């Protein structure tokens, strides 16, 4: 194979380093810090690594993220080929295809961490908020997206939360609960300690990610210092 495979010892070390949910979470946190600080390493994006992972994948995290074009997982977590198993829908809504994709990664590939990735100013959440306020649903299949977010809107209302980013946090937590509630396979993996599910929120302007739900025990915090992108950085549109 061109480029060769990683040495067996190195591969074993890497697998063992990333096999625990907490280590996987710390790996994401490290990558996000590099991204925020403007010093990404762009790991695992070279031709040698591409060839090395061609025969099989062992991603250390599943990302269930919003489709927003500013939320590219490999970029914001500074990772490369074979690292992240990514499932994206507008507003990170969860349906059968999403559940099946997550279960594939967790049970077949043995991925130890599932991260629900939402973000501030999420358009899907804003659309659901408008629907809740006006009673007018959008047409076409966009309605499916809005309808899937509406339970989070109702929960936010019940909890007295009405700012958009507070609603986003609730929607992220709701998505975590939905994954666990609708996938006994995933819930079993979590109960056995083989996997963890964490909800995080990304800030579009600053680039940092913060946890919205509890992180795996022993994991370094994912809280990222204020982004060095200048005090003039505008709030996300
Ligand atoms: Zn979004």
Q: What percent of the chain has pLDDT over 70?
A: 84
Euclidean distance between CA atoms 106 and 114, whole angstroms: 8
Residue 1 has pLDDT above 90, yes or no: no
* Per-residue pLDDT, 237: 31
66 C-alpha vs ligand 1 centroid, how far in Å? 5
* Per-residue pLDDT, 220: 56
- Using 50, 70 and 90 to split pLDDT, how confident is the model at 14? very low
The structure's pTM equals 0.85
117 C-alpha vs ligand 1 centroid, how far in Å? 9
Residue 163 has pLDDT above 70, yes or no: yes
17 C-alpha vs ligand 1 centroid, how far in Å? 32
Work out the average pLDDT over 29-46.
97
Contacts 24+ apart (CB under 8 A), 226-232: 227/36, 227/203, 228/36, 228/37, 228/38, 229/38, 229/205
- Using 50, 70 and 90 to split pLDDT, how confident is the model at 229? very low
Closest CA to 143 of 128, 156, 155, 157: 128
210 C-alpha vs ligand 1 centroid, how far in Å? 16
* Per-residue pLDDT, 98: 98
Residue 227 has pLDDT above 60, yes or no: no
């Amino acid at each position: 194979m061109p480029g060769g495979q990683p040495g067996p010892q190195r591969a074993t070390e890497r697998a063992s380093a990333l096999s625990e949910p907490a280590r996987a979470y710390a790996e994401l946190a490290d990558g996000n810090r590099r991204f925020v600080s403007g010093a990404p390493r762009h790991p695992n994006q070279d031709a040698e690594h591409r060839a090395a992972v061609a025969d099989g994948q062992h991603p250390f995290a599943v990302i269930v993220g919003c489709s927003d074009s500013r939320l590219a997982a490999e970029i914001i977590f500074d990772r490369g080929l074979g690292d992240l198993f990514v499932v994206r829908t507008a507003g990170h809504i969860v349906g059968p295809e999403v559940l099946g994709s997550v279960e594939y990664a967790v049970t077949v590939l043995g991925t130890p961490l599932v991260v629900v990735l939402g973000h501030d100013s999420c358009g899907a959440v804003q659309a659901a908020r408008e629907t809740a306020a006006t009673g007018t649903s959008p047409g076409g299949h966009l309605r499916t997206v809005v309808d899937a977010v509406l339970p989070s809107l109702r929960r936010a209302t019940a909890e007295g939360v009405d700012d958009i980013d507070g609603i986003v946090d609730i929607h992220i937590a709701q998505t975590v609960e939905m994954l666990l509630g609708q996938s006994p396979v995933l819930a079993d993996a979590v109960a056995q300690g083989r996997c963890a599910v964490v909800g995080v929120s990304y800030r579009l302007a600053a680039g940092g990610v913060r946890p919205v739900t509890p992180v795996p025990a022993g994991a370094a915090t994912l809280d990222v210092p204020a982004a060095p992108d200048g005090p003039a950085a505008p709030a996300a549109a």
